[in-house]
Amino acid sequence: MHKKGLKLLLLMGSALSLTLSGCGTGGDAPSAETKSEPAAKASDTVKITFWDENPGPNRTPFYEELIKRFQAKNPNIQVEYVGIPASGAKQKYDVSIAANDTPDVAGINMVWLSDFVAKGAVQQLDPYFDKWSDKDKIASNIIQFDRGLTADKKLYYLPHTMFLDILWYRTDWVKSAGLNPPATWDDFFTDVEKLTDIKNNRYGFSIRGGSGSINQLTSMIYAYSGITEYFTPDGKATVRDPRITEFLNKYVALYKKNTPVSDVTNSNKEMNATFDTGTSAIIQHNFGSYNDHLTNLGNDKFAGVIPPKAANGKRVVVPVANGLVMFKNSKHPEEAWKFISFLMSADSQTYWNQSIGQMPTNTDSLKSDYVKNTQHIQQGAEVLADKDTVSLSLPTHLPDYTKITTQQLEPDFQKVLTGKMTVDEFVKGWATSMEKAKADYDAAMKK
């Protein structure tokens, strides 16, 4: 797995000063070991399918525009866009893999990758990437990070966007209350308490208790604790640490007292809505919701801060890179790679990330005016360039990681919020399941 000191965005500080030539889209690809049809003639039209794992009005139109641009440059390739609702995306992909009916190219959550690789479903991209003319424009530590997502350290996944968790807060509310922005953990809990006014339907915070809750909770508990590893050297899960239990007890106590009751089932969509409609003063999400908040609130009523440093002086973050894979049963791998490399190009990445409020991975795109002039992107770069910042390595290479987080921990967290399970029971279950998953994986790797 990738090393704890990995600074995903350290590249950004250097990228802004690099002098790199061109922003070519690339598109040349070698032959790969995959079943494919003969290369299409210039006069033929090849159709490939692209699945988006998180469609919606804040993403779909921008993918559709990129597809138009791609087809204008490649008139013999037709790209069919298919949006897969986020709530059931993983299940949809699993079904398609079982039925051998996968798309050519797809956007996926990086935590799914090891499972897809174990199932033999996705194509190794090294043969394509190694001969791509723009490969050096994707920072080497990003590629190293991607290789660390799977046990064999091969390249199956290319991220065209990345982000950090962030605490969005109402600047006008904080100012009028005479408080400080949530730049320390004391600030955070004080602001949540002081900004709560239930009689006027105002809450200091909104907890994500529904789908996707554990990803955000993991970021918060490790940020608060300052713990920089998911497992100890002897294979024990560090979630057992008393500092994490301390945070969880404080955090869970906010539910219903300083947060809406509906939080227990809220996914990111509902949680973000509480912020945009003036119900919640602070939420924890990521860079991707910036444009929604900008549209609904304007740039003078909100701002964001990366979760604070821990008491030990460490700032622990969990960078997330969302990206693209090619499925092995694609009948047109050359054309599929051409589309992937187009989306990875500087022009495409700048357009995409500016549209959705996230950070590019192409170093030419990282020098764009969008990046230079966007406060939360600059803050992310500064945070990850800080010597006290550590990127937490999640054990996404464990085949059972996603199953544990979604099928066990998400419903268990809801039980904790509603008082049907104690924090101690929750932590013990979390640790026990992850430790078993690691032990099983390690044993299998020794065979």
- Per-residue pLDDT band for 2 (boundaries 50, 70, 90) equals very low
Q: What is the pLDDT of residues 286-338, one digit of tens each?
A: 998 998 999 999 989 999 999 999 999 999 998 888 899 999 999 999 999 99
What three-state secondary structure class fits 14?
helix
The pLDDT, as a whole number, for residue 14 is 42
Burial of 200 (0-12, 13-18, 19+ CB in 10 A): exposed
- Per-residue pLDDT band for 25 (boundaries 50, 70, 90) equals very low
The pLDDT, as a whole number, for residue 43 is 57
The pLDDT, as a whole number, for residue 147 is 87
Q: What is the pLDDT of residues 163-186, one digit of tens each?
A: 899 999 999 999 999 999 999 999
Sign of CA dihedral 251, 252, 258, 260: positive
* Tokens coding 406: 């979604």
What three-state secondary structure class fits 163?
strand
The pLDDT, as a whole number, for residue 41 is 53
The dihedral formed by the CA atoms of 6, 428, 270 and 392, expressed in degrees to the nearest 10: 0
Q: What is the pLDDT of residues 193-250, one digit of tens each?
A: 999 999 999 999 999 999 999 999 999 999 999 999 999 999 999 999 999 999 999 9
pTM: 0.78
Q: What is the pLDDT of residues 377-420, one digit of tens each?
A: 888 888 877 899 998 989 988 889 989 999 999 999 999 999 99
